[in-house]
Amino acid sequence: MNQKRLELIKSKLADFEIELSDINGTPAIITNPANIIIICSILKTDLDISFEMLLDVMGVDNFQKEKRFEVVCSLYSLKYKDRIFIKVPLDSKNPEMPSLTAVWKGANWFERETFDMFGIKFTGHPDLRRIYMPEEYEHFPLRKDFPLLGIPDSIYLPKK
């Protein structure tokens, strides 16, 4: 992404508390969960920015940090053929952020996956169920404090 376009994005988002960083040449917007819906809808609908496509929603567990969890969204502009990340650091105790399904419908399953693996709640999500693990499962496997082989007898297994 060229510097001109980056400056444009910066000026359009001047009203919000954002930080810009760089991940291997791709810009990343670091923001807090309060403004995320407005920021995302500007990024999507503004014709000069036009990030129409949500590629992925990922979770990160930075175990030692004060703000332990982080949600990373990857966006792609079909018009300008470049991408951008949005990073949202979240609380350790009660990780929660507004659902992006209001902006991109495709966020539905990505958010279910992030919820399943990290226990991050997405408020306003239409159907926040587990997507990989059994529905009655109580743990979150990709958190750093989860043992590799799982917790014994935590998943139902038929009797021999």
Partner 1 sequence: MGLEDKLSKDGFFTSKIDALIQWSRSNSVWPMPMGISCCAIEMMAAASARFDISRFGSEVFRFSPRQSDVMIVAGTVTYKMSKVVRKIYDQMPDPKWVIAMGACTSSGGMYRTYSVVQGIDQFLPVDLYVAGCPPRPENLLNSLIILQERIKKGEKTASENI
Nearer to partner 1, 66 or 145 (CB): 145
User: Per CB under 8 A, does 150 bind partner 1?
Assistant: yes
Closer to partner 1 by Cβ: residue 129 or 160: 160
Minimum CB–partner distance for residue 137 and partner 1 (Å):
9
Of the two residues 5 and 130, which places its CB atom closer to partner 1 in the complex?
130
Minimum Å distance from CB 70 to partner 1?
22
CB-nearer residue toward partner 1: 58 or 133: 133
Site string for partner 1, 105-134 (x = CB under 8 A): ---------------------------xxx
Output the DSSP codes for the chain. --HHHHHHHHHHTTTS--EEEEETTEEEEE--GGGHHHHHHHHHH-TTT---EEEEEEEEE-TTSSS-EEEEEEEEETTTTEEEEEEEEE-SSS-EEE-GGGT-TTHHHHHHHHHHHH--EEET-S----SSS-TT----TTSTTS-TT--TT-S-----
Residues at the site binding partner 1, with contacts judged by CB under 8 A: 132-134, 141, 146-151, 155-160
